[in-house]
Every structure is written in structure tokens, then in C-alpha cells.
Amino acid sequence: MRILFTTVGLPGHFFPLVPLAWACRARGHQILVATTDDFRPTVLRAGLPACSWSSSGGIADVAATDGVPAGEKRFAHGLAFAQIARRSLPGAEALLRDWRPDLVVSERAELAGPLAASAGGVPRAELHWGAAELPEYQAAWEAEWGGLPFGAADVVLNPWPPSLRAAYAENHRSIRHVGYNGDASVPGWLTGSRHPRRVCLTFGTLLPHLGSRDIGGLVVPLLHRLGSLGVEVVVAIDDRVAATWPALPGHVRHAGRLPLAEVLNTCAATVNHAGQGTSLTALAAACPQVMVPQFDDQFDNAETVAKGGPGIVLLPEETTTEAIYRACRTVLESAEYRTAAAQVSAEIATQPSPADVAATLEDWF
């Protein structure tokens, strides 16, 4: 088959597509990833063929909504994605006409591919991210387009384990989460076994780019406070962000870019923002979580993980250095979080792998 994968220009949206795209290519299918021109180098570094159908659409669009009140943030982000799709649609229509895919696979925020596929009668699958239904995105898309001119995807693939899914997702098809972290090298100290007192702090690929959130102002004091727990701390964050921080205490093993899947497999706990990739990578690694969500699906992801047992959630108004410190101490010292994390990890391991799903796509389509 000829399979077109489509994504907005955000790593957290594209990275979950990579294992499935690899698996489809390994089965001999022709693969092409369509995105915006400014994001194309990220796709190419994943070893996948890429083309662009518009100039830009990703971090800058989301960052432009940073000043929107918290209660309006989800709608604002949905509107940003709808506007990206409007800019991308002419290129998407031309690409589908010229490349003639047999199937379009889109991440849930990318709208141009589904619109063009619907108009051309091409089957489509959606890779779902996040635990949230996000009706605000639907409302924003309808506001931008005057109603959505296409129906639901033929297949919705969901990497969240079934026990943690909300009722709206009960008919989604399972796909196992396989972590992909871009071109981040694995240092030698990550090749050993799980460290009983290692804690990873990470805030994903988007949050450090949002000006209203002083990541360093939260993380640096926290790093000093965590020293009293006798832990080794690693901070997985953009190298450019870490370079702006002052000298860090000696129990900080590393601060900078790291492959999260390999890091969390060695950690006893993680402090994170409850992004889709981070949450699922931690769950797959049986790593208990302290979650400090900031916007959109992160709140639902955090609540879902906490209800499942492997973590503690702190809302923005509760997020202080001392509160995070106490939560870290709790998940490190209480066996119930480790037990719950191990149970969810075992459930994730039973889900169909991307290779299994790639084979099944041939039967579905």
C-alpha cells in the first residue's frame, strides 16, 4: 500500500506516529510523511521520507495562544490547529491527487489530511493521543470551518491501556506505546539496571518554548530541595534551556537532552507535565509519576494516571517546590505506587505492537 502519515509541526504529535510508520515501511509499504516545511527536518531525522504542504504550523501557533486565560486554552489550541489545516489544505489536496495514497494516517490534531482524504474518498486512520476527549477542539474546528465536512476516521488507534480509557474511547483499537525520542543519544550510565533512588524531571518538548512558564524558576529550587531525599536527579530538557540555568547541586547527574524511554527505564520516579508521550513512556517503564499538568489533555492524562494508581497529580495552584518534594517522597517510599505502575506496565505490554497493527492495517484496508 501507499500510506500517507500526516502531522502538525510538533514533536509530541509526530513522535507517536514514528513506530507505526517504521513498522509499515518494514512490511514493504510505501510511506510518506506530510507536514509543514519548518518541521520537515525533524521527520527526516526519524529516517522517514517527508514532504511539506505548507510553510509552517506548530510551536509558533501554539505559543501565540500563551496569554489566553486557562479556561479558554483548549479552544484556542483547537482553533490554532484548525487554522494550520486551512493553510495546509491546498497542498494536502494536491498531494493526495498526485501521490494517490491508499490510506491516510493522521494524528488527532492534524486536520488537512483527513479533509483531503474525505474529499477524495481515501480511507483514513487516526492515531489518538491523550486521555481527553477534547470537545473544545471539535468546537474550535467547527467555528473555523463552519462545521466539520467529514465523519469519523475509519479506525482510531489508541495507545492508552484499556483500563485507563474513558467511555468515549471504548471502541478505539489498541496499539502498544513504543517510545520514540528523536535523535537523542544514550549515555553509558543509562545502560545499567534501574537505579533505586534516581528521579527524572522532564517537561516535554513544548512547555520550555512557552514564555509564560518559568521552567527554570520551578526546577532549579526543586533540584536543591530533592537533595535531602538522597536521590540522584536527571533533568531531560532542551540543552538550550538547561544552559541558561545556574550551577546545579552535585546530586544532579545530568541536565539536558536525553532519550526519555531509556531514562525512565532506570528511574524510581519521575516529575513531569503529564504530556501524552511522557505519561505513556513512564507507564510502560513501570515508573511512578508526580504530575504537574499545564494545559489541554495534560490535566486529563494526569487525572487518569492518578486514578489508575501509579502517580500523584498537582494542579497549577498546588504546584510549589515543597508540594512536589513531598509528592516525590511519597511515591519513592510507598510500595503501592510501584505496584500500580508495574500492573499498568504489564497491561501495556499485552497491547498489539506497531508491527502487529501494521499487519492488521492490510486486512482492514
- Phi, psi dihedrals of residue 228, rounded to the nearest 5°: -70, -10
Convert the pLDDT of each residue in 137-171 to its tens digit.
999 999 998 876 678 899 999 999 999 999 999 99
Residue 91 banded pLDDT, cuts 50, 70, 90: very high
For 214, the grid coordinates are 518559568
User: pLDDT grade, residue 316 (50/70/90)?
Assistant: confident
Mean pLDDT (the chain, rounded): 92
Is the pLDDT reported for residue 69 higher than 70? yes
Which residues are paired to 269 by β-bridges? 199
3-state secondary structure 278-331: HHHHHHHCCCCEEECCCCCHHHHHHHHHHHHCCEEECCHHHCCHHHHHHHHHHH
pLDDT at 214: 61
At 40-66, the pLDDT tens digits run 999 999 999 999 999 888 778 887 887
Residue pLDDT, tens place only, 233-245: 999 988 888 888 8
Number of CB atoms found within 10 A of residue 240's CB: 11
Q: Does the model's pTM come out above 0.75? A: yes
Confirm if 195 and 265 have CB atoms less than 8 A apart.
Answer: no
Supply the pLDDT for residue 25: 97
Does position 213 have pLDDT exceeding 60, yes or no? no
What per-residue confidence (pLDDT) applies to 180?
94
Quick one: pLDDT at residue 212? 46
